[in-house]
Structure 1
Amino acid sequence: MNKELSMEDMLNEVEASMKSVRKGQIVKCKIVSVRDNELIVSTGSMFDGILPRTEININDNVELKDIFKEDEELELLVLHVNTSENEVTLSKKRIDSINTWKELQELYNSKEIFEVKVKEVVKGGVITEIKGERAFIPASQLSVRFVKDLNEFVSKDLKVKIIEFDKEKKKIVLSRREVEAAEVEAKKNSALESINKGDKKHGVVTRIAKFGAFVDLDGIEGLIHLSELSWRKVKDASEVVSVGDAVEVYVIDVDKESKKIALTLKEAKDNPWNNIENKYAKGSVHEGTVVKILDFGALVELEPTVKGLVHISQIEEEPVAKVSNVLNVGDKVKVKVLQVSEENQKISLSIKEAIERPVEDLSEFVDDNDSMGTLADLFKEKLGKLDLK
């Protein structure tokens, strides 16, 4: 039986030795010998196989004997057939490339995220490698933020996905921006769920706009409108905050559907209108500064964040045709409080009522002994002394 098997093996070997190979064919080989710069392999045909080091993806400082062992099986691509020498030149690098492109196609189809290291900066972006193949990341796809210097990414590991893939042209375009944007969106949604109206939050000013300042609240931005930056009037957000400032804010509104958050820097305890009805009690007189002229009156500032209105009818005793004929911005005036409302944050003032009028002394006309005298008698006596001619 053993003799029959041995004969069968011999016949198989003879049959195999008669087999031929052709250029471009993929063959299964077995390592026969490991040398310094090449591998000698059995191709299962009449030809011996040579696998040069240059056709193997291996670092220059790595020895072939440290990677490959005799009798190890490899799948190789036939590069050249030398019939005169009965030798074929093989490539592992090409097979690896074929398999790599299959894997890359799968990565592209699945939109899978993976990590790469940036090798160098080129015009318009950076170069990296995936499984030995060059790939390009355009500058616009490096980050969700503006990138001024591409060199900051060299030697850095980045999480990316393939956004363009062409096997025939060997073209691979990657994006870190899409990965980053998805991470930012996930972080934003998580942060949004933890924010509620009335919360006190710590954040950092990220940008200044004409209408206010944006603040990052650990993954999601909120807006402080100009009117919420201070109790005083603010014309430009930069008067109060700068980009990079750490701030403590209060959440005044949250719209989870539109993902908008309204913030304020103003604390309720600092509200200048608190206890205003006692500070500027009805009937009290104060000094203020005219800060604005209106058609129907003037705004007078009592303190930096508190203003009251002097109606045109409350400027002088005589009718005033035009406010600017009587008052100018910057004028210092005394005003009397006519009405004050803490709830509505309004104060009505009067200039004419604040003017002190001289009171005529009528004591000389009072007869201490005549308790029955009347005020009419006193005026009659006074009028009698006047020369009316």
Structure 2
Amino acid sequence: MKIEVAKSAGFCFGVNRAINMVNDLLDRGCKVCTLGPIIHNERMVHELSAKGSRIIDVPSQAKSDETIVIRTHGVSASVMDEIKKTGNSFLDATCPFVEKIHKLVSKEMPDSIVLIAGDPKHPEVQGITGHCKGKCFTFQTLEELKQITESHPDIVNEPVMVVAQTTFNTEIWDKCNNFIKKVYTNARIFDTICSATSIRQKEAKEIAARSDLMLIIGGRNSSNTSKLVSACSAYCPSYLVEGASDLPIEPLKRAQKIGVTAGASTPACIIKEVLIAMADLDNMDNDDISFAEALEKTLKTVNADDIVRGVVVGISPNEVQVDIGTKHAGYIPLSELTDDTSAKPEQIVKVGDELDLVVLRVNDQDGTVMLSKKRYDAIKGWEDIVKASEDGTVLEGVVTDVVKGGLLASVHGVRVFIPASQSGAARDEKLDKFLHQNVKLIIIEINKSRKRAVGSIRQVLREERRKQAEAIWNEIEEGKEYKGVVKSLTNYGAFVDIGGVDGMIHISELSWSHIKHPSEVVSVGDTVNVYVKSFNKEEKKISLGYKDKGEDPWAKFMAQFKVGDIVDAKIVSLMPFGSFAQIIPGVDGLIHISQISDKHIAKPQDVLQIGEIVKAKIIEIDEEKKRISLSIREAQGSEEKSEEQTESDEEQKQPEETKPTEEAKPAETTNE
């Protein structure tokens, strides 16, 4: 017969803190009264009463010399005002998780409607209700939530805040959340179930699933304990016991595997008492009881600078909740999770992840431990940085800040400074483009005593570019195509990086049409498709082509025109020796000054204007040099001949009767 005890069994840090506060007052000889039972465990309350603590129902019942202690469940704002009016000294033992809910409902969204998942009769829920500024509704099941929605349809579109009692059933909470997300368009949901509660319920279910019988030790009035019983009952017979006298003897004797857990208000002494009583049944072997080890683990203390391992149990916008195996609530502030200020916690970790962490601060009063993943990563990462500086290893990091003189990057959790000169950016280029970008760098300088490192992106880029260039020169050939990036422009062309090597596109290669500057076609930063026209490995020069061969206007011209054709040409430039005229876009012909007019002209401008359309005859085509000669004179002559021929043809077509004949000639006249 074996017994498995939950590691999370017993006091949670909030209960433990409250008990310690009361005991501390009593040990100092103070008179103490608690506003209601300090926790839901009669035995513990009796022990405190025996030491001098008493219970009051309302603040006015406190004696003038007594210190009022507010129990873990917290109180409403109005009750807190009553306590202050008494003039008595008081201590607030409200669980920090509960106090957080109070602040949410009163300050985060004070004008919103609040939906509270919890038992309206429970003092914790009554306290939460008492901090709400406006309307609030409570529900314990999905059905009750739906009833609220049906009864108050107007709140569906109102600003709504949703919170939960710290000990609320996690399965019911998930179902209600899904409903709210679908129905309430303006709802903000805050998962306020205590991480210790979530862990306790999850562990109890897991143990119950592999046990024949489950014992839940705790007070019958404890919400936390009753939910454990309900959760475990779905897997095996489960019994609630307040102490050893409640043990179900016969069922225990028949069970082979027994699971044990305890509510958050159950002290270790009661758990131990139950286990010892169980060990006496049928002479059970105490070696099978793992409680002693589990108890020691949960009661262990932690100190600042300790390295601990924790499990992520919850994620919120500003922090991550972690179970480190003690009675403390561990949390990692976002600033201690990562150096990347734009990152969200859920992008870095997920529930269930195991993390190595450094303890920053322990607050036994609140039962919390502040932890840092970033600092642990820095400790381990520093070793990697030192090694990389020695062997030149390329590291990867994220740029987290742009600072005076350069960049800061997080590399294996270590902040590495990258001078602007080592960033790889141009001299006048802004460094903002690097922010939040992943970069590769090498460590070029290190200060071991101060744990500071200097890195270089430029040297990595230079080495990558060298390797790329070597690969290109090894495989380059004329006609090979590349995708490149325009790096710079000059009057005579554009320089393009084709992957570690720069080549030049001459201005004449950028367009079939005449252009005055490369910027008319491309800009710095453009991605272009180019091909190799020629190259020189010795001089490391590459001439690139850019124009689309399929759109060659010369080919179009040759397909459409021949010598002797008369074309409509547009005058595009005037020179002393003649005029250039565009036949089709991309193809110009020269009209020599001698071919402009039958008359002598001093200069082409005397008879032509830029933009003018003229009739010109193609008189010569030099296919090899791609040159065309045009003539306006011959075009005009051809037109005149054409007109004369037309007139002649017209005459030939006249009817016979209209032609003059010998008989029709007039008689000759004489002087006779």
Please state which band the TM-score falls in when normalised by the shorter chain: 0.5 to 0.7
Match of 1:159 in 2: 441
Match of 1:279 in 2: 560
Deviation at 1:256, TM superposition (A): 2.8
Q: 1:205–1:213: 8 Å Cα contact kept in structure 2?
A: yes
Match of 2:511 in 1: 230
Change (3 A) 1:200 1:131: closer
Determine which of 325, 344, 357 is the counterpart of 2:640. 357
Determine which of 596, 600, 604 is the counterpart of 1:319. 600
> Which runs of structure 2 are paired with 1:248-267 in the superposition (5 Å)?
248-267=529-548
Deviations 1:94-122 (A, max 9, x none): xxx9xx99x95x97676554556656543
Q: 2:489–2:524: 8 Å Cα contact kept in structure 1?
A: yes
**Are 1:148 and 2:446 counterparts?**
no
Match of 2:623 in 1: 342
Aligned partner of 2:640: which letter? Answer: R
Aligned partner of 1:341: which letter? Answer: D
Deviations 1:75-108 (A, max 9, x none): xxxxxxxxxxxxxxxxxxxxxx9xx99x95x976
Q: How far, CA to CA, are the matches of 2:605 and 2:584 in structure 1? A: 22
Match of 2:242 in 1: none
Match of 1:328 in 2: 609
Deviation at 1:138, TM superposition (A): 1.0
Relative to structure 2, which stretch is displaced further, 149-158 or 271-280?
Answer: 149-158
Q: 2:554–2:587: 8 Å Cα contact kept in structure 1?
A: yes
Deviation at 1:197, TM superposition (A): 0.7
Match of 2:273 in 1: none
Q: 1:298–1:309: 8 Å Cα contact kept in structure 2?
A: yes
Aligned partner of 1:357: which letter? Answer: E
Deviation at 1:330, TM superposition (A): 1.8
Q: How far, CA to CA, are the matches of 2:433 and 2:546 in structure 1? A: 38
Deviation at 1:172, TM superposition (A): 4.9
Q: How far, CA to CA, are the matches of 2:573 and 2:561 in structure 1? A: 20
Q: How far, CA to CA, are the matches of 2:570 and 2:640 in structure 1? A: 22
Match of 1:25 in 2: none
**Are 1:302 and 2:606 counterparts?**
no
Q: How far, CA to CA, are the matches of 2:576 and 2:397 in structure 1? A: 68
Change (3 A) 1:114 1:342: same
Any unmatched runs of 5+ in structure 2? 1-300, 306-355, 362-378, 650-672
Q: 1:117–1:129: 8 Å Cα contact kept in structure 2?
A: yes
Match of 2:457 in 1: 176
Aligned partner of 2:552: which letter? Answer: N
Q: How far, CA to CA, are the matches of 2:584 and 2:542 in structure 1? A: 31
Determine which of 61, 64, 78 is the counterpart of 2:359. 61
Deviation at 1:322, TM superposition (A): 2.1
Identity score, percent: 36
Q: How far, CA to CA, are the matches of 1:125 and 1:226 in structure 2? A: 37
Aligned residue for 1:184, secondary structure, equals helix
Match of 1:10 in 2: none
Q: 1:207–1:214: 8 Å Cα contact kept in structure 2?
A: yes
Deviation at 1:228, TM superposition (A): 0.7
Change (3 A) 1:154 1:270: closer
Relative to structure 2, which stretch is displaced further, 222-231 or 236-245?
Answer: 236-245
Aligned residue for 1:357, secondary structure, equals helix
Higher helix share: 2
Q: How far, CA to CA, are the matches of 2:438 and 2:564 in structure 1? A: 72
Relative to structure 2, which stretch is displaced further, 131-140 or 296-305?
Answer: 131-140
Q: Give the aligned CA root-mean-square deviation in angstroms.
A: 4.1
Match of 1:45 in 2: none
Relative to structure 2, which stretch is displaced further, 107-116 or 319-328?
Answer: 107-116
Aligned residue for 2:594, secondary structure, equals helix
Q: 1:290–1:300: 8 Å Cα contact kept in structure 2?
A: yes
Deviation at 1:196, TM superposition (A): 1.3
TM-score, length-scaled by structure 1:
0.57
Q: How far, CA to CA, are the matches of 2:458 and 2:540 in structure 1? A: 21
Aligned partner of 1:160: which letter? Answer: I
Deviation at 1:152, TM superposition (A): 3.9
Q: How far, CA to CA, are the matches of 1:330 and 1:275 in structure 2? A: 22
Q: 1:161–1:176: 8 Å Cα contact kept in structure 2?
A: no
**Are 1:217 and 2:515 counterparts?**
no
TM-score, length-scaled by structure 2:
0.35
Change (3 A) 1:341 1:269: farther
Change (3 A) 1:348 1:109: same
Match of 2:365 in 1: none
Q: How far, CA to CA, are the matches of 2:471 and 2:455 in structure 1? A: 27
Q: How far, CA to CA, are the matches of 1:149 and 1:338 in structure 2? A: 61
Q: How far, CA to CA, are the matches of 2:547 and 2:437 in structure 1? A: 45
Deviation at 1:173, TM superposition (A): 3.4
**Are 1:196 and 2:477 counterparts?**
yes
Aligned partner of 1:199: which letter? Answer: K
Change (3 A) 1:139 1:313: same
Deviation at 1:340, TM superposition (A): 0.9
Q: 1:126–1:150: 8 Å Cα contact kept in structure 2?
A: no
> Which runs of structure 2 are paired with 1:25-104 in the superposition (5 Å)?
60-61=358-359
Change (3 A) 1:275 1:149: closer
Deviations 1:301-344 (A, max 9, x none): 11111111111111222222222212221222111122111211
Aligned residue for 1:197, secondary structure, equals coil
Higher strand share: 1
Aligned partner of 2:359: which letter? Answer: N
Match of 2:351 in 1: none
Match of 1:367 in 2: none
Match of 1:374 in 2: none
Aligned residue for 2:625, secondary structure, equals coil
Deviations 1:189-216 (A, max 9, x none): 2133233111233445455544333444
Q: How far, CA to CA, are the matches of 1:114 and 1:343 in structure 2? A: 57
Q: How far, CA to CA, are the matches of 2:493 and 2:401 in structure 1? A: 40
Change (3 A) 1:343 1:261: same
Deviation at 1:346, TM superposition (A): 0.8
Aligned residue for 2:598, secondary structure, equals coil
Q: 2:418–2:454: 8 Å Cα contact kept in structure 1?
A: yes
Relative to structure 2, which stretch is displaced further, 315-324 or 294-303?
Answer: 315-324
Q: How far, CA to CA, are the matches of 1:130 and 1:200 in structure 2? A: 38
Aligned partner of 1:61: which letter? Answer: V
Relative to structure 2, which stretch is displaced further, 261-270 or 336-345?
Answer: 261-270
Q: What is the aligned residue count?
A: 274
Q: 2:396–2:438: 8 Å Cα contact kept in structure 1?
A: no
Q: 2:567–2:615: 8 Å Cα contact kept in structure 1?
A: yes
Q: 1:121–1:154: 8 Å Cα contact kept in structure 2?
A: no
